[in-house]
Chains A and B, each alone.
Chain A
Amino acid sequence: MATLQTPPEPGGPLEPGATAEAAAPTLLTTEPVGGLPTFGGGLSGARSVRRMARAVTANRKATVGALILLFFIVVAAIPGVIAPYDPNAEIFPKLLHPSAQHWLGTTALGQDIFSQVVWGTRPVLLIAFGVGFGATIIAMLVGVAAAYLGGWSDGVLSLITDVLLVIPLFPLLIVISSYLHGAGTGVMILVITLTGWSYTARQLRSQALSLRHRDFLEAARVRGERARYVIVVEIIPTMTSLLVAAFLTNALYAVLFSSSLQFIGLGNPNTTSWGTMLYWAENNEAFQVAPLWIIVPGLCIVALGAAFALLNYAFDEIGNPALRPVRSMRRKRVKRSG
């Protein structure tokens, strides 16, 4: 039973690039407002959101990331206004070169590539945000509950998290999708969410663990609040910036995983999205005939992924000052030596 009592060491396949585990404390420890429980949570939450907004505008990486993300959100919101044609209509001459009518040319099936790229934004963003929110909420509930409840519950919840963490995710997704035969956007969100929350749950748990003996939680406990109340109103609002980081991580993986699944033909091939575009492009030998058919959807995936990654990277820097660009540090060193 020893395995159940003590949470396993952090030894899972933590993505080394994401150092968010170390991040955040500086940002999220807005002074705990213990006395006013009903306002307390809301206040500190709102305040850290404002702080984050300021941090985003102050950090160049974060600004770039936010702008790219905003761009894609606008495109996904009004594809009908931007795209000149119906993305599925196979009505044009096949494999046209780029022209004023068809900015990116046409596919081997006679569809307008530009219109497909524009319409393809929506499912990708839906998956990114769907999985981002879904997986982060599960991760939050599991991670925080494990840390706060401790003991036996922590043992079980952490064990579930760790088991899911070590099972290779992409092969698992492939196997599940192969049994599902053509997963649409909704199913894909569901599958990636249910399999992908464990990494961030791990991070959120260790953050919540560090809060466990803070005064404002002791105060809540002394007041006799129920565990559910303490978790939702007292703990979670203090973790806002870490939750944002978790959201970004999950959204990024959702973009990459879903596009990859669609590329190998495990999505619904009739949805227009960047991944399925690449699937059709590869199956129609687009290398030889229409390179833009491959290049543009891929660049879009990269740009969207970069948006999430840049925002996340910026949050790392905000939370972990040691990683910030050195300009200021060097100045300090010069001062010291001089």
Chain B
Amino acid sequence: MRFVLRRLGFFLLTLWVALTLNFLLPRLMPGNPALAVIGSYKGGVSPQALKALEAQFGFTTHESLIHQYFTYLGNVFTLNFGISLTTQPGASVARIVLDAVPWTLGLVGITTVLAFILGTGIGILGAWRRGGRLDSIMPPIFVIMTVIPYFWIGLVLILVFGVKLHWLPYFFTYDYTLTPGFNWTFISNVLEHAILPAFTLLITTIGTWILTMRNNMITTLAEDYVRMARAKGLAGWRIMLDYGARNAILPNLTGFAMSLGFVVGGAILIEQVFNYQGVGWLLLQAVNNNDYPLIQALFLLITVAVLVAILLSDLLTAALDPRTRGGS
């Protein structure tokens, strides 16, 4: 119980830090971002948006910082994120963000689950057949895989499968010419557009799962109870799954809970490369357009998702591993 309370306290604290960072960053930076926006979009910013901008960045200093801070906190808690300045001028930020979320959840969410299942499975097999072909090929390959920038793999895949071979589409979430609807043409088109970005994400993230699972599995397989199971003459697959994998999977499980939080903001570059209209793509659009209200809202969304996931994974650890519950 004490553990749970402590993690809850930590969650609230980090949430507060993230909120405060979001508030302070534009005010701490050299130069005034608000003025920069006004400067670069003279005439393009509606009076309404201008007023919102004033409030958001406090570049009119007739209000004290403390006062601005509490107004900001109030706005966040009532989910009032203001109005987009430049990306979709005048549209509510919350609306724009909500439109982008499902695309990201679909693409990155499904891929994360796939990567976890495949990676964990390969890791188990690799550790079980220690020194076998799988085990000796996999780790070096995936060490290399984890250092390849996501976006560059995306670029290369576009080059090969999109531009050279013309096998798959690589631009946007679906074909412009189609009207979105619940029919097979549209759905299959969406799926087709998701293949390349999903594959990119899969091959760049699966390595971590494999390596963690393999390394934990190796440690577990050295335990006495595994030797005991062997001595009893249990079937190999039972030792592998019930004795080895079951005890070694905890770090992967909590890692999985955590990675669900990174789904929202975890594929920024991939969405950018494929022009996939999700949260990450939207963030970069907002950055390119100096659309600060949108940037702030997206950063908050991405951070909160991660914080919630970390809280959940802590609670999951506590539920699954009694050793962590004891307090210190």
Residues in chain A within 8 A of chain B (CB atoms): 2-3, 6, 8-9, 11-13, 15-17, 19, 61, 159, 162-163, 166-168, 170-172, 174-181, 252, 256, 259-260, 263-266, 278, 282, 287-288, 291, 294-295, 298, 301-302, 305-306, 308-310, 313, 322-323, 325-327, 329-330
Bound together, the chains give a CA A151 to CA B214 distance in angstroms of 36
Q: When the two chains form their complex, are residues A13 and B3 in contact, meaning their CB atoms are under 8 A apart?
A: no
Q: When the two chains form their complex, are residues B29 and A179 in contact, meaning their CB atoms are under 8 A apart?
A: yes
Q: When the two chains form their complex, are residues B144 and A302 in contact, meaning their CB atoms are under 8 A apart?
A: yes
Query: How many chain B residues have a CB neighbour from A under 8 Å?
Result: 79
What would be 19 A-B contacts, judged by CB atoms less than 8 Å apart?
Answer: A162-B14, A167-B18, A168-B302, A168-B306, A175-B25, A175-B299, A176-B25, A178-B295, A179-B29, A180-B29, A181-B36, A260-B150, A278-B152, A287-B159, A298-B155, A301-B149, A305-B148, A309-B144, A323-B215
Q: When the two chains form their complex, are residues A171 and B299 in contact, meaning their CB atoms are under 8 A apart?
A: yes
Nearest CB in chain B to that of A282: its residue:
B155
Q: When the two chains form their complex, are residues B287 and A174 in contact, meaning their CB atoms are under 8 A apart?
A: yes
Q: Which 9 A-B pairs have the closest CB atoms?
A: A305-B147, A16-B212, A298-B152, A326-B131, A179-B29, A178-B287, A287-B163, A11-B314, A171-B302
The prevalent SS among residues of A at the interface is helix
B31-50 contacts to A, CB under 8 A, are: 31, 33, 36
Residues of the A chain whose Cβ atoms lie less than 8 Å from the Cβ of B328 = 6
Q: When the two chains form their complex, are residues B131 and A327 in contact, meaning their CB atoms are under 8 A apart?
A: yes
The prevalent SS among residues of B at the interface is helix
Contact digits for B197-225, partner A, Cβ 8 Å, 1 yes 0 no: 00000000001110110010011001000
Interface residue? B85 (CB, 8 A): no
Q: When the two chains form their complex, are residues A8 and B302 in contact, meaning their CB atoms are under 8 A apart?
A: no
Q: When the two chains form their complex, are residues B284 and A16 in contact, meaning their CB atoms are under 8 A apart?
A: no
Among A11, A15, A305, the residue within 8 A (CB) of B310 is A11
Q: When the two chains form their complex, are residues A266 and B287 in contact, meaning their CB atoms are under 8 A apart?
A: yes
Residues of the B chain whose Cβ atoms lie less than 8 Å from the Cβ of A15 = 208
Interface residue? B307 (CB, 8 A): yes
Bound together, the chains give a CA A48 to CA B218 distance in angstroms of 28
Residues of the B chain whose Cβ atoms lie less than 8 Å from the Cβ of A170 = 265, 268
Bound together, the chains give a CA A265 to CA B287 distance in angstroms of 10
Nearest CB in chain A to that of B207: its residue:
A17
Bound together, the chains give a CA A195 to CA B258 distance in angstroms of 20
Residues of the A chain whose Cβ atoms lie less than 8 Å from the Cβ of B156 = 294-295, 298
Interface residue? B111 (CB, 8 A): no
Nearest CB in chain A to that of B305: its residue:
A168
Q: When the two chains form their complex, are residues B303 and A168 in contact, meaning their CB atoms are under 8 A apart?
A: yes
Q: When the two chains form their complex, are residues A322 and B208 in contact, meaning their CB atoms are under 8 A apart?
A: no
Q: When the two chains form their complex, are residues B163 and A263 in contact, meaning their CB atoms are under 8 A apart?
A: no
Interface residue? B84 (CB, 8 A): no
Residues of the A chain whose Cβ atoms lie less than 8 Å from the Cβ of B302 = 168, 171
CB of A209, distance to nearest CB on chain B (Å): 12
Q: When the two chains form their complex, are residues B295 and A12 in contact, meaning their CB atoms are under 8 A apart?
A: no
Most buried by A among B147, B150, B313, B314: B147
With A162-B10, A291-B159, A295-B156 in contact, is A12–B310 under 8 Å at CB? yes
Contact digits for B113-132, partner A, Cβ 8 Å, 1 yes 0 no: 00000000000000000110
Bound together, the chains give a CA A282 to CA B212 distance in angstroms of 34
Residues of the B chain whose Cβ atoms lie less than 8 Å from the Cβ of A260 = 149-151, 269
Nearest CB in chain B to that of A327: its residue:
B131
With A179-B29, A322-B218, A322-B222 in contact, is A9–B149 under 8 Å at CB? no
Residues of the B chain whose Cβ atoms lie less than 8 Å from the Cβ of A171 = 265, 268, 283, 298-299, 302-303
Bound together, the chains give a CA A309 to CA B146 distance in angstroms of 9
Contact digits for B254-282, partner A, Cβ 8 Å, 1 yes 0 no: 11001000100100110011000000000
B143-175 contacts to A, CB under 8 A, are: 143-144, 146-152, 155-156, 158-159, 162-163
Q: When the two chains form their complex, are residues B310 and A13 in contact, meaning their CB atoms are under 8 A apart?
A: yes
Nearest CB in chain B to that of A19: its residue:
B215
